[in-house]
């Protein structure tokens, strides 16, 4: 079991707030769609493909953008060195229903393309050119034990040098994204990447 | 073609664009507006739903959807008496 | 302490057979299961050939002891999963730790479609109970309960590479000593949702598919389920039988190119195959057979072929796509093809790439076109490349 991996950044999008490393850096009232679009505008992300994404992908994409902001990630790692391990409970149900409505009148390919939860990983990978190990799991709730075990295993087998992992879930107005950046170095004030710490950070008081 | 531009913008969710931003002869794919293969498929559905035209061969796509004008010409050619007004 | 992942049991149901034996018979008889839709009520019934499991839900329910009202994916999953457990001689009350890692992309969509049709015309129509099992995780839970597996249950949903990923997730858990047995694989039933979706992407062939053929026109959708029971060294001792094979390598990479298309250079495919070989510690020349992802689409076959050329040139192993038999079984495909790869090792047989007439002009190699027996098959590479750029390769080796 890897003892020297640590959580070097975190991002949380929930209840109209954008929280980076425990600090609220933006908030906007309104529904999920409004929040995500305003967040995109506020941080001047300039990635037109964003507007084509379904709600789950917008959520995951933004959570990853916020997570990596200011970390100098693109200069630290090569394309195959970053792992992406995400999970959720609703899979792609939000867009599944939207797509299903279009079948009668003319199935929409742009919606169909999103009817798989791992497309979130695809969008993040395309944006940042990540070609490393990637996986998507469906669980009833965030499982810190599984996540820590699985990701530390990847580090232990030298398959990755850093990992973006966590939870990206959305169904209608019910949304929550909690991502962690996990690296091998151990900066003094960084939290160790363990199941206990993941479960702790997932508690409501933290967001 | 104005109506067609509005339909394209709406169907493809091109939030930052208005009809006046799209030139009649401006390439829609790659350079120009920068649409991709999924957008091409959506345009095929648009032809079917709004104009009742079935493009069954995906390979015709690049030619038909080259620009708004080529799309409009195709629609006119395949709609019988219905002419798409500029 | 790092255990090997032995393959102790196999279970499978596809368009070419309701169990392992039937599937094997069809493979060697070169008998495909693709044809007109018989069970799925769709407006495309006479247009699009599919690889349907030749059973209605009532018959599947009878075979599994589950309710016929359950989603078809759950019925297929249970049938194949149970076969794998029985094949291995696994007992429910053994003292060791068993996990169930199952993949699917469709969930209970077939039931939701029926519900939605009624609900969209009348808000009080449709049985809510039908949609309770809609999402992917529910299918896994249902089947885990039916099988009596509680220690660890998880669902993987990464499109067409889902069950390949489920397989190596199980192998990882065994390797790290967290499980003694891992029942791994996947299931997906045909639904109008997927049929219409793929149709709108214009990648379906209106004829029976021709993977790796110069004149290929797309894929045929299929359905099915397949599972492997993996066992650790300790688990094998308890089962007291000879394993079929072992998992010697696996790797996963992201193509990072497009949501549903592969990069023309096949970057993700290349990284996955190369990674699997490195993990197994064997050179490309040690591979005796590649079970291709080979969907029959213009895009996949050229990307996969390009990656193979880059990795194997000038010495190419024998290869074939068995999707010409079963169609593309989506979430189940990684596991279905894992079972076929293991049968190849067990029997020393290389299954053909049916309906190949004209090899692709881009490549100096082509798949085999007839069933080859008495072959030395020690290492098999199996590819599964999914939407979202998720590319996985598995290597199975003789025990």
Radius of gyration of chain C (CA): 20
User: At how many degrees (to 10) do helices C136-147 and C72-88 cross?
Assistant: 40
Per the prediction, chain C carries an average pLDDT of 91
Query: What gap in Å lies between CA C183 and CA C9, rounded to an integer?
Result: 9
Query: Exposure of B56 by Cβ count < 10 A (0-12 exposed, 13-18 middle, 19+ buried)?
Result: exposed
Segments in C217-376 forming alpha helices (H): 233-239, 267-280, 298-312, 323-326, 333-347
Reported confidence tier of residue C135, pLDDT bands at 50, 70, 90: low
Q: Which of the pair, C2 or C40, is modelled with greater confidence?
A: C40
Tell me, yes or no, if C108 comes closer than 8 A to chain A by beta carbon. Answer: no
Bridge partner list, C50: C35
Query: What gap in Å lies between CA A37 and CA A32, rounded to an integer?
Result: 9
Query: Exposure of A4 by Cβ count < 10 A (0-12 exposed, 13-18 middle, 19+ buried)?
Result: exposed
Residue B25 sits in which domain range?
2-78
Reported confidence tier of residue C124, pLDDT bands at 50, 70, 90: low
Q: A51–B13: do the CB atoms touch at under 8 Å?
A: yes
Structure tokens at C113: 């479609």
Q: How many domains does chain C have?
A: 2
Q: Does some domain include residue B84? A: no
Q: A134–C254: do the CB atoms touch at under 8 Å?
A: yes
Answer for the pair C239, C180: CB distance below 8 angstroms, yes or no. Answer: no
- Residue C186: the pLDDT is 96
Q: What is the pLDDT of residues C208-221, one digit of tens each?
A: 999 999 999 999 99
What subunits make at least 3 CB pairs under 8 angstroms with B?
A: A, C
Other beta carbons less than 10 A from residue A140's beta carbon: 11
A123 phi and psi angles, rounded to 5 deg: -65, -40
- pLDDT reading at C118 higher than 90: no
Q: Where are the domains of chain A?
A: 6-206
Other beta carbons less than 10 A from residue C113's beta carbon: 19
Q: B34–A48: do the CB atoms touch at under 8 Å?
A: yes
**Do residues C319 and C219 share a domain?**
no
- Residue C161: the pLDDT is 82
Residue at which a domain ends, from C183, C217, C239: C239
Bridge partner list, A85: A135, A165
**Do residues C227 and C300 share a domain?**
no
Tell me, yes or no, if C298 comes closer than 8 A to chain A by beta carbon. Answer: no
Q: Where are the beta strands (DSSP E) in chain C?
A: 5-13, 98-103, 152-156, 181-188, 224-231, 245-254, 289-291, 318-320, 379-385, 390-398
Structure tokens at A134: 């990637």
What stretch of H or E contains C24?
A: helix C20-28
Is the bond into C192 cis (omega within 30 degrees of 0)? no
Count of A-C CB contacts under 8 Å: 148
DSSP code, position C131: H
Q: Does some domain include residue B85? A: no
Average pLDDT (C311-338) is 97
- Residue A140: the pLDDT is 86
**Do residues C217 and C83 share a domain?**
yes
Tell me, yes or no, if C193 comes closer than 8 A to chain A by beta carbon. Answer: yes
Answer for the pair A137, A57: CB distance below 8 angstroms, yes or no. Answer: no
Q: Does some domain include residue B83? A: no
Query: What gap in Å lies between CA C181 and CA C253, rounded to an integer?
Result: 26
Reported confidence tier of residue A3, pLDDT bands at 50, 70, 90: low
For residue B41, list chain C residues with Cβ-Cβ distance below 8 A: 200-202
**Do residues C72 and C173 share a domain?**
yes
Q: A52 to chain B: nearest residue by CA?
A: B13
For residue C202, list chain B residues with Cβ-Cβ distance below 8 A: 41, 44, 58
Residue C49 sits in which domain range?
5-239
Q: How many residues does chain A have?
A: 207
Interface with A, mutate which of B38, B40, B51 (most A CBs under 10 A): B38
Structure tokens at C217: 């026109």
Average pLDDT (C130-140) is 68
Q: A131–C271: do the CB atoms touch at under 8 Å?
A: yes
Among C270, C259, C316, which Cα is nearest to C293's? Answer: C270
Q: C202–B37: do the CB atoms touch at under 8 Å?
A: no
Q: A133–C134: do the CB atoms touch at under 8 Å?
A: no
- How far from each other are the two terminal CA atoms of chain A, in whole angstroms? 29
What stretch of H or E contains C60?
A: helix C57-64
Other beta carbons less than 10 A from residue C93's beta carbon: 5
Which residue among A99, A122, A139 places its CB closest to the CB of C137? Answer: A139
Tell me, yes or no, if C154 comes closer than 8 A to chain B by beta carbon. Answer: no
Query: What gap in Å lies between CA A166 and CA A171, rounded to an integer?
Result: 17
Query: How do C152-156 and A134-138 pair as beta strands?
Result: antiparallel
Residue written as token pair 């110069």 = C214
Answer for the pair C360, C213: CB distance below 8 angstroms, yes or no. Answer: yes
For residue A52, list chain B residues with Cβ-Cβ distance below 8 A: 12-13, 38
Tell me, yes or no, if C62 comes closer than 8 A to chain B by beta carbon. Answer: no
Q: C202–B58: do the CB atoms touch at under 8 Å?
A: yes
Q: A48–B13: do the CB atoms touch at under 8 Å?
A: no
Q: Does some domain include residue B21? A: yes
Tell me, yes or no, if A113 comes closer than 8 A to chain B by beta carbon. Answer: yes
Instruction: State the fold for domain A6-206.
Output: Peroxisomal Thiolase; Chain A, domain 1 (3.40.47)
**Do residues C201 and C323 share a domain?**
no
Q: Coil, strand or helix: which one is C302?
A: helix
Answer for the pair C277, C254: CB distance below 8 angstroms, yes or no. Answer: no
For residue C259, list chain B residues with Cβ-Cβ distance below 8 A: 38
Query: How do C390-398 and C245-254 pair as beta strands?
Result: antiparallel
Answer for the pair C79, C225: CB distance below 8 angstroms, yes or no. Answer: yes
Structure tokens at C397: 């080796």
Q: What is the pLDDT of residues C58-111, one digit of tens each?
A: 999 999 999 998 999 999 999 999 999 999 999 998 899 999 999 988 766 666
For residue B15, list chain A residues with Cβ-Cβ distance below 8 A: 51
Q: Does some domain include residue B62? A: yes
Q: A137–C197: do the CB atoms touch at under 8 Å?
A: no
Q: B41–C200: do the CB atoms touch at under 8 Å?
A: yes
CATH number at residue C343: 3.40.47.10
Reported confidence tier of residue C321, pLDDT bands at 50, 70, 90: very high
- pLDDT reading at C33 higher than 80: yes
Tell me, yes or no, if C253 comes closer than 8 A to chain A by beta carbon. Answer: yes
Average pLDDT (B45-65) is 85
Work out the minimum CA distance from C202 to partner chain B, whole angstroms: 7
Query: What gap in Å lies between CA C231 and CA C94, rounded to an integer?
Result: 13
Reported confidence tier of residue B33, pLDDT bands at 50, 70, 90: confident
Count of B-C CB contacts under 8 Å: 12
Answer for the pair C28, C349: CB distance below 8 angstroms, yes or no. Answer: yes
For residue A109, list chain B residues with Cβ-Cβ distance below 8 A: 38, 41-42, 45
- pLDDT reading at A15 higher than 80: yes
Average pLDDT (C184-206) is 92
Q: How many domains does chain B have?
A: 1
Residue at which a domain ends, from C239, C271, C306: C239
Reported confidence tier of residue A2, pLDDT bands at 50, 70, 90: very low
Q: What is the ipTM of this complex?
A: 0.84
**Do residues C302 and C269 share a domain?**
yes
CATH number at residue B30: 1.10.1200.10
């Amino acid at each position: 079991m890897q003892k020297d991996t640590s959580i070097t950044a975190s991002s949380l999008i929930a209840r109209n707030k954008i929280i980076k490393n425990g600090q609220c850096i933006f908030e906007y009232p309104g529904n999920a769609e409004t929040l995500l679009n305003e967040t995109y505008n506020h941080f001047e992300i300039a990635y037109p493909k964003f507007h084509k994404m379904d709600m789950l992908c917008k959520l995951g994409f933004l959570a990853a953008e916020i997570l990596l902001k200011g970390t100098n990630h693109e200069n630290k790692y090569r394309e195959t060195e970053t792992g992406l391990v995400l999970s959720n409970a609703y899979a792609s149900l939000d867009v599944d229903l939207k797509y299903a409505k279009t079948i009668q009148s003319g199935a929409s390919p742009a919606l169909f393309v999103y009817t798989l939860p791992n497309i979130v990983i695809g969008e993040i990978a395309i944006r940042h050119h990540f070609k490393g190990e990637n996986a998507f799991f469906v669980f009833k709730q965030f499982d810190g034990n599984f996540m820590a075990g699985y990701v530390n295993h990847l580090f232990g087998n030298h398959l990755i040098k850093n990992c973006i992992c966590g939870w990206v879930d959305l169904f209608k107005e019910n949304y929550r994204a909690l991502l962690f950046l996990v690296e091998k170095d151990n900066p003094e004030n960084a939290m160790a990447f363990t199941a206990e710490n993941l479960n702790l950070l997932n508690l409501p008081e933290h967001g | 073609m104005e109506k067609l531009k509005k339909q394209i913008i709406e169907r493809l969710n091109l939030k930052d664009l208005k009809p006046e931003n799209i030139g009649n002869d401006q390439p829609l794919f790659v350079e120009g507006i920068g649409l991709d293969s999924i957008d091409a498929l959506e345009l095929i559905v648009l032809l079917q739903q709004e104009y009742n035209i079935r493009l069954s061969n995906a390979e015709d796509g690049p030619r038909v959807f080259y620009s708004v004008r080529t799309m409009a010409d195709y629609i006119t050619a395949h709609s019988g008496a219905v002419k798409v007004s500029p | 302490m790092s255990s090997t992942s032995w393959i102790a049991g196999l279970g499978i149901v596809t368009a070419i057979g309701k169990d392992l034996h039937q599937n094997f018979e069809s493979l060697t008889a070169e008998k495909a299961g693709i044809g007109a839709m018989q069970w799925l009520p769709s407006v495309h019934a006479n247009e699009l050939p599919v690889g349907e499991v030749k059973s209605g839900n009532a018959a599947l329910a009878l075979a599994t002891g589950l309710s016929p009202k359950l989603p078809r994916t759950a019925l297929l999953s249970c049938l194949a999963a149970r076969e794998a457990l029985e094949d291995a001689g696994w007992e429910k009350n053994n003292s060791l730790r068993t996990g169930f890692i199952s993949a699917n992309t469709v969930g209970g969509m077939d039931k939701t479609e029926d519900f939605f049709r009624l609900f969209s015309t009348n808000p009080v129509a449709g049985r809510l109970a039908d949609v309770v099992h809609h999402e992917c995780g529910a299918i896994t839970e249902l089947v885990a309960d039916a099988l009596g597996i509680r220690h660890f249950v998880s669902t993987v949903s990464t499109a067409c590479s889902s069950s390949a990923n489920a397989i190596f997730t199980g192998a990882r858990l065994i390797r790290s000593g967290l499980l003694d047995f891992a029942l791994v694989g996947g299931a997906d039933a045909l639904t109008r949702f997927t049929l219409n979706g793929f149709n709108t992407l214009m990648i379906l062939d209106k004829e029976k598919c021709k993977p790796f053929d110069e004149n290929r026109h797309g894929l045929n959708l299929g359905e099915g389920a397949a599972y492997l029971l993996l066992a650790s060294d300790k688990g094998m001792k308890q089962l007291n039988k000879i394993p079929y094979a072992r998992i010697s390598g696996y790797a996963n990479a992201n193509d990072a190119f497009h949501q549903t298309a592969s990069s023309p250079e096949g970057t993700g495919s290349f990284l996955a195959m190369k990674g699997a070989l490195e993990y197994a510690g064997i050179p490309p020349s040690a591979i005796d057979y590649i079970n291709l992802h080979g969907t029959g689409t213009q895009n996949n076959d050229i990307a996969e072929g390009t990656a193979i050329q880059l990795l194997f040139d000038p010495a190419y192993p024998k290869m074939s796509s068995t999707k010409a038999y079963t169609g593309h079984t989506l979430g189940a495909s990684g596991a279905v093809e894992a079972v076929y790869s293991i049968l190849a090792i067990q029997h020393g047989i290389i299954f053909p790439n049916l309906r190949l007439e004209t090899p692709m002009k881009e490549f100096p190699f082509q798949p085999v076109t007839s069933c080859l027996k008495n072959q030395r098959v020690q290492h098999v590479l199996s590819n599964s490349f999914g939407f979202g750029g998720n590319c996985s390769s598995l290597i199975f080796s003789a025990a």
